Amino acid sequence: MADQRAKEVHHRTVANRRRQADQEWVERSDRRADLIRRENHFNFIKMYYVTHFASHLRRFGSISMYSTEMGELAHKDQIKDGYRMSNKNDAARQILSQYGRQHALGMRLQTIEAPSKVKGVIVAEDSGMEMPAFSSHSTPRRVLKGRMKNTSTQTKLCATLNIHYSDMMQEILRFTRQTAADDRGLPADPTELGLLPVEGFAQLEIPVANFQETDRFQIHWARCTGTKAFRNGGPRNDSVWVQTGGEANYGDLREQVVARLLALLKIRNILSEAGAIHQLALVCILDPVNRGRFHIASGHIRVGSLRRVNGRDMRIVSIGAVIGQAQVIPSGERQCIVNHRIDLRTFNEIY
Amino acid sequence: MPYSEKALRHEPAEAACIAEYFQWLGVKIGNNVFIGLDRVSPADLHKPDLLHNIYLGLFKHVMEWVEGFLKKHKRQQAFDDAWKEIPPCPGFSVPKMAYCEITQWQGKEMRNLGRCISAVLASALRNPDSSQYHDFKSALKCVSALVDLSLMAQYRSHTPDTLSYMESYLQTFHRTKDIFLEFRTLKATRT
């Protein structure tokens, strides 16, 4: 009996102590929150500097011009590389002259190239002869690369890429109907279409003009390896931006939509005399969530998951409609986030 | 030549007042290299620098706050998972290590981080419950505004519109940064 009572008292004191501890903890965290409110601040110099960006832009122009990244890079380009080039005796003098020489040569090359950008031709020095400009100055084209094995007919291609033949055929027919039906188009008859030779490719090179600098191009290599592994990793089927041509409204995405590459192929129309080659891409359009509007909380556009692929969302497009690579970050099982802050061009277009 | 008269180019009385003020603060007025130059005001010399001010400055601070924020809301694992799944993209190098393993950041890596951080964070903070909703929303808004500002600062040419956008991003950043106040580690509040 006494034992029982002792136990009860013990329980009571333990409960009391726990309550007291909880209360103390709450008080302490309240005090801490209070202290944080009172003492923490954002008054540091880097926070303040940013307020001058706009006025600086108005007065002196683009901020990138004043970036110190160049100066920091000079530690390597100018000094370390220069030292490696030298014979290590009296290196300072050699370092100085080496960088000066590189710089002078670079300037000279740019001076030679500059007139050709304007006229499309360059005048060879002293001879007065006009030569065609380097091919690098003309607009680069989209190129299909990396031919895949076992893709010489459409059935083989579909088997290699694990796509239903009927889905593929249906989409090509739809594409044919949309494009002009003349001698250069594809036949509208499924059996004739099935006989045409095809080639499958694993890579699409897309030249994308630099943002605010349209005579320079960045090459996007969009990969589409189907079920095959890419460089010891998993298979890579990149997501790309595809021009829709105003066929549907995708909200804040405007006239482009994110799609995943499923196959890249060339079809040669041997049945017609022109024998035109069609370069096509089979893509799966990722359905924009909330009709392509920005998500209220996170400020991103979300699309359906990369993993779910069904025949309904597949489209055949000409490779000319593929604008460039997109970055899509998975968010849970069913949704992905389109990262429109990946480069300046995308950031400028989607807001 | 005393600094207070030559460089600040104030009236002598005003300059004396400034000198007194600094003495009261306990700050010594010294001469720097710009002292002898005409038409140079040291206060005007600062040039905006994306590398040290944004990438290695503010991004670094913001990442500290974000780490604290994730820890508080127990979303570190989700963040690391999203970090691992970043797909490759041209002009962007995929991080090779998990986020928590990286101890040192180069300018280039910070720039890379700036390009993906808002999307990764949005992925890590998905499906908030009702008590977290507002916190998550303003945290995302704050980070995104800073990233937007840094991206727009890289433009080669500007219009009045882009300038006003930049100012509005900065305002959004300052308006929403309060959510991270408790994660500022200062000497006074470190426990």
Whether A338 and A303 have beta carbons less than 8 Å apart is answered as yes
Residues of B within 8 A of A338 (CB-CB) are 119
Q: What was the pLDDT predicted at A292? A: 81
Q: Is B153 exposed, middle or buried (0-12, 13-18, 19+ CB in 10 A)?
A: buried
**Residue A84 to residue A88: CA distance in whole angstroms:** 8
User: Is A332 within 8 Å of B127 when comparing Cβ atoms?
Assistant: yes
**A43 in B contact zone (CB under 8 Å):** no
Distance from CA of B36 to the nearest CA of A (A): 23
Q: What was the pLDDT predicted at B2? A: 46
Mean pLDDT of B139-166: 92
Distance from CA of A29 to the nearest CA of B (A): 11
CA neighbor of A153 nearest in space, from A189, A196, A185: A196
Residue B78 scores a pLDDT above 80: yes
Using the structure block, give the residue that is written with the tokens 């909703």.
B133
Q: Check the CA dihedral A77-A78-A84-A85 and report its sign.
A: positive
Long-range pairs of A342-345 with CB within 8 A, sequence gap ≥ 24: A342/B89, A342/B91, A342/B92, A342/B115, A342/B116, A343/A211, A343/B89, A343/B90, A343/B91, A343/B92, A343/B115, A344/A211, A344/A212, A344/B151, A344/B154, A344/B155, A345/A208, A345/A210, A345/A211
Q: What was the pLDDT predicted at A123? A: 45
Report, as ranges of residue numbers, the positions in chain A whose pLDDT lies below 50.
Answer: 121-137
Q: What was the pLDDT predicted at A131? A: 45
Return the residue in A36, A68, A339, A350 with the most chain B beta carbons within 10 A, the one to mutate for interface testing.
A339
Q: What was the pLDDT predicted at A26? A: 86
**A221 in B contact zone (CB under 8 Å):** yes
Q: What was the pLDDT predicted at B3? A: 47
Residue B172 scores a pLDDT above 90: yes
Whether B7 and B44 have beta carbons less than 8 Å apart is answered as no
Confidence of residue B4 (pLDDT cuts 50, 70, 90): very low
Beta strand extents in A301-342 (DSSP E only): 301-304, 314-318, 322-325, 328-331, 335-338
User: Is B119 within 8 Å of A57 when comparing Cβ atoms?
Assistant: no
Residue B120 scores a pLDDT above 70: yes
User: Is A212 within 8 Å of B52 when comparing Cβ atoms?
Assistant: no
CA neighbor of A257 nearest in space, from A291, A298, A230, A232: A291
Name the token pair of A329. 């970050």
Residues of B within 8 A of A324 (CB-CB) are 90
Distance from CA of A315 to the nearest CA of B (A): 23
Phi, psi of A209 (to 5 degrees): -65, 140
Q: What was the pLDDT predicted at B6? A: 47
Among the ranges given (A223-232, B17-26, B31-40, B109-118), the one the predictor scored with the smallest mean pLDDT: B31-40
Phi, psi of A128 (to 5 degrees): 75, 5
**Residue A47 to residue B59: CA distance in whole angstroms:** 11
Confidence (pTM): 0.79
Mean pLDDT of B35-54: 76
The pLDDT tens digits for B134-149 are 999 999 999 999 999 9
Q: What was the pLDDT predicted at A122? A: 44
Q: What was the pLDDT predicted at A133? A: 43
Confidence of residue B42 (pLDDT cuts 50, 70, 90): low
Residues of A within 8 A of B149 (CB-CB) are 50, 53
**Residue A172 to residue A166: CA distance in whole angstroms:** 10
Our CA dihedral for B159, B163, B164, B167, rounded to 10 degrees, sits at 170
User: Is B86 within 8 Å of A297 when comparing Cβ atoms?
Assistant: no
Q: What is the count of residue pairs from A and B with beta carbons less than 8 Å apart?
A: 179
What is the predicted ipTM? 0.77
Search chain A and give the residue with CA nearest B146. A50
Neighbour-count burial for A89-125, b at 16+ CB within 10 Å, e otherwise: eebeebbeebbeeeeeeeeeeeeeeeebeeeeebeee
The pLDDT tens digits for A242-262 are 988 665 667 777 788 889 898
Whether B91 and A343 have beta carbons less than 8 Å apart is answered as yes
Q: What was the pLDDT predicted at A119? A: 57
